[in-house]
């Protein structure tokens, strides 16, 4: 049973939540970027090396939460710059950290316009980091 304090906190939260401007979910933001870039879903998922089934899941589930690797593959497939990458990753609850080896390689690639998966994987492999699946 909720006491007065719990009820007050719940009410305060509800008011706060109603007044917050929510940010778009990963799938909403991803589909918006795809549209803005003027490419088809099929072109995107092939370039990002995602399967048709996974893209369909992303496309049909506004609450879809990708793995960090999948989110990065989307960033590479869309050839996003660092600011755009950070925004898309944030929408999925991720970020890149220069204190993590895998992230440093991805950061370098995106920051230097390296979007070719074979090149990215070559750098990841050389640094003994997990390569991107496809």
Residue pair 124/131 in contact (Cβ under 8 Å)? The answer is yes
CA 123 to chain centre: 21
Distances (CA, A) of 70 to 6, 13, 61, 84, 87: 39, 33, 15, 15, 15
Question: Which pLDDT tens digit goes with each residue over 49-104?
Answer: 999 999 999 999 999 999 999 999 999 999 999 999 999 999 999 999 999 999 99
Q: Output the domain CATH number for residue 81.
A: 1.10.260
CA-to-CA distance for 11 and 95, rounded, in angstroms? Answer: 32
> Which range marks the domain in which residue 94 is found?
23-126
Reported as a pLDDT band with limits 50, 70 and 90, residue 11 is: confident
Provide the pLDDT for residue 67.
Answer: 96
Domain count, the chain: 1
Q: What percent of the chain has pLDDT over 90?
A: 81
Reported as a pLDDT band with limits 50, 70 and 90, residue 21 is: low
Q: What percent of the chain has pLDDT over 70?
A: 96
User: Is 5 part of a structural domain of the chain?
Assistant: no
pTM: 0.85
User: Is 132 part of a structural domain of the chain?
Assistant: no
Burial of residue 104 (number of CB atoms within 10 Å: 0-12, 13-18, 19+): middle
User: Is 1 part of a structural domain of the chain?
Assistant: no
User: Is 69 part of a structural domain of the chain?
Assistant: yes
Reported as a pLDDT band with limits 50, 70 and 90, residue 7 is: confident
Compare 21 and 7 and report the one with higher pLDDT: 7
User: Is 10 part of a structural domain of the chain?
Assistant: no
Provide the pLDDT for residue 5.
Answer: 80
CA-to-CA distance for 44 and 77, rounded, in angstroms? Answer: 7
Has residue 1 got a pLDDT over 70? no
């Amino acid at each position: 049973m909720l006491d007065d304090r719990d009820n007050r906190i719940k009410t305060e939260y509800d008011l706060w939540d109603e007044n917050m401007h929510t940010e778009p979910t990963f799938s909403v933001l991803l589909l918006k970027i795809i549209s803005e870039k003027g490419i088809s879903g099929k072109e995107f998922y092939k370039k990002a090396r995602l399967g048709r089934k996974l893209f369909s899941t992303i496309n049909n589930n506004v609450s879809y939460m990708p793995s960090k690797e999948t989110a990065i593959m989307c960033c590479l497939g869309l050839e996003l710059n660092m600011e755009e990458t950070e925004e898309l990753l944030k929408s999925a609850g991720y970020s890149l950290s220069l204190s993590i080896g895998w992230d440093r390689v991805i950061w370098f690639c995106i920051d230097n316009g390296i979007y070719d998966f074979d090149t990215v994987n070559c750098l990841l492999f050389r640094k003994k980091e997990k390569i991107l699946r496809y």
